[in-house]
């Protein structure tokens, strides 16, 4: 192995680097984390890492094991000291899993975008699309060490201060109706022939008042949950919405925050690729009559972004209606999307966009 030298920051010439490696640098740079790196030949065993370990001192080389349970429906990235022996039963017992084994190379490529023997791109645990099936496990004795590194063509050392700093993570919060899918109540108004039901949060800022009024009209016409769900089954995402959402989810975390209801949202989430959604629930009688509704929390959109901020997230929000203004104005960056002329006129300070390309570009600019 050639003489190893510590170098600061990303390489000046990235033409011979892999896309995965460059994304790690992009991620660290976006968070404002300073780092040093060592370029070295690929190594396949922990014994081959001794020279790297010495060059990174006082950091230590750790090994990263990509594991799965017996059903192969949960995956874990285990980080442990390089000289510690892996005992499957011990780790499985600690995390409450069934028997653990090494995941396949295909799953490693799919979930981590790396090949066996590579350093795991740990940043993908924070921004990837598979977070629901992930576990991130760090051995307790590794937590006592100052730095962590790995075994690919590049080893990275992050300064000790970064372990203590409160890093901010970006999360994008989107409205659902009018932004990603057509307005459910407008579609139902057209299907049922009841034009009054076209009134939405674009027209009425008080959501409780609006929903109580809607339920009164449904009761008057003898309509219930089934009739609305039949209409929802015919609704497709706005053209370009899924592609926009797919690209956005490939670069950052996304939550849909909506005042709709779980009984309405599920078929729409399936068509959008099952993104995460925070919404409310309906109270439904055995005969299907909608008798009431339960809001997840007061001022749900505003309250949700404030809660995310309280646990270290910076929020970026976008919506089209009155009930989106709270989360938009409370976020680090906020945008109106496909909104009304009146709302845009009342809030000239908020950037307003009409196309997904425009909105995506604006969000990417904030992400850096």
**In the numeric block, which tokens belong to residue 306?**
């404030």
Q: Is 336 helix (H, G, I), strand (E, B) or coil?
A: strand
Question: Which position has the higher pLDDT, 221 or 133?
Answer: 221
Name beta bridge partners: 353.
337
pLDDT of residue 6: 78
Q: Please, what's the b/e burial string for 129-143 (b: 16 or more CB within 10 A of its CB; e: otherwise)?
A: eeeeeeeebebeebe
Gyration radius of the chain over CA positions: 25
Asked if 290 and 215 count as a contact pair (C-beta separation under 8 A), the reply is: yes
Q: How many residues does the chain have?
A: 368
Determine whether 3 is exposed, middle or buried from the number of CB atoms within 10 Å of its CB (0-12, 13-18, 19+).
exposed
Q: Which sequence positions are flagged as catalytic?
A: 175, 177
Highest mean pLDDT among 87-96, 157-166, 198-207, 302-311: 302-311
Give me the domains of the chain, ranges plus CATH numbers: 7-167 (3.90.960.10), 172-367 (3.90.1470.10)
Q: Which residues lie below 8 Å from residue 272, measured CB to CB, with a gap of 6+?
A: 180, 181, 237, 241, 242, 245
Q: What is the pLDDT of residues 101-137, one digit of tens each?
A: 888 888 887 777 677 656 554 433 333 333 334 444 5
**Angle (CA) 252 256 260, round 5°:** 175
3-state SS, residue 293: strand
pLDDT at 224: 93
Distance CA 80, CA 62 (A): 5
* Contact (Cβ atoms closer than 8 angstroms) between residue 180 and residue 272: yes
Distance CA 200, CA 205 (A): 9
The tokens describing 205, both together, are: 């800022």
Between CA 81 and CA 63 the distance in angstroms is 6
Please state the pTM of the whole predicted model: 0.55
Bigger pLDDT: 270 vs 89 = 270
User: Band of the pLDDT at 31, cuts 50, 70, 90?
Assistant: low
Nearest alpha carbon to residue 320 among 301, 295, 293, 306: 301
Residue 119: per-residue pLDDT: 54
pLDDT at residue 297 greater than cutoff 90: no
- Lowest mean pLDDT across 53-57, 129-133, 138-142, 247-251: 129-133
Q: Tell me how far CA of residue 143 lies from CA of 59, 139, 162, 192, in angstroms.
A: 12, 7, 14, 60
Of the candidates 349, 71, 351, 366, which has an alpha carbon nearest to the alpha carbon of residue 248?
366
Average pLDDT of 311-330?
92
What is the band of 338 on the pLDDT scale with cuts at 50, 70, 90? very high
pLDDT, greater one: 39 or 132: 39
Q: What does the pLDDT read at residue 58?
A: 62
Average pLDDT over residues 79-95: 76
């Amino acid at each position: 192995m050639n003489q190893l030298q510590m170098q600061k920051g990303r390489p000046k010439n990235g033409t011979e680097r892999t896309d995965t490696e460059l994304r790690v640098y992009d991620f660290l740079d976006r968070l404002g984390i300073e780092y040093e790196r060592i370029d070295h030949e690929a190594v396949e065993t922990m014994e081959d890492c001794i020279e790297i370990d010495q060059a990174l001192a006082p950091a230590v080389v750790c090994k990263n094991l990509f594991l799965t349970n017996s059903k192969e429906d949960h995956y874990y990235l285990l980080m442990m000291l390089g000289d510690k022996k892996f005992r499957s039963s011990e780790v499985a017992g600690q995390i409450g899993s069934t028997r653990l084994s090494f995941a396949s190379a295909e799953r490693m490529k799919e979930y981590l975008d790396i090949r066996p023997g590579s350093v795991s791109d740990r940043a993908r645990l924070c921004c990837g699309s598979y977070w629901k099936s992930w576990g991130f496990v760090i051995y307790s004795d590794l937590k006592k060490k100052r730095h962590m590194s790995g075994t690919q063509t590049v080893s990275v050392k992050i300064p000790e201060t970064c372990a203590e700093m409160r890093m901010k993570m970006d999360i994008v919060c989107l409205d659902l109706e009018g932004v990603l899918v057509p307005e459910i109540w407008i579609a139902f108004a057209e299907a049922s022939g009841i034009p009054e039901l076209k009134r939405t949060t674009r027209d009425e800022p008080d959501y409780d008042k609006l929903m109580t009024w809607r339920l009164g009209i449904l009761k008057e016409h003898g309509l219930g949950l089934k009739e609305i769900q039949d209409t929802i089954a015919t609704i497709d995402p706005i053209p370009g919405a899924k592609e926009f959402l797919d690209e956005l989810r490939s670069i950052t975390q996304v939550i849909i925050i909506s005042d709709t209801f779980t009984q309405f949202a599920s078929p729409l989430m399936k068509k959008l690729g099952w993104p995460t959604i925070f919404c409310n629930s309906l109270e439904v009688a055995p005969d299907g009559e909608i008798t009431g509704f339960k809001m997840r929390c007061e001022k749900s959109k505003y309250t949700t972004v404030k809660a995310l901020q309280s646990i270290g997230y910076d929020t970026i929000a976008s919506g089209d209606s009155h009930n989106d203004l709270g989360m938009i104005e409370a976020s680090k960056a906020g945008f109106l999307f496909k909104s009304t002329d009146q709302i845009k006129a009342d809030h000239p300070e908020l950037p307003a966009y009409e196309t997904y390309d425009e909105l995506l570009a604006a969000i990417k600019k904030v992400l850096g």
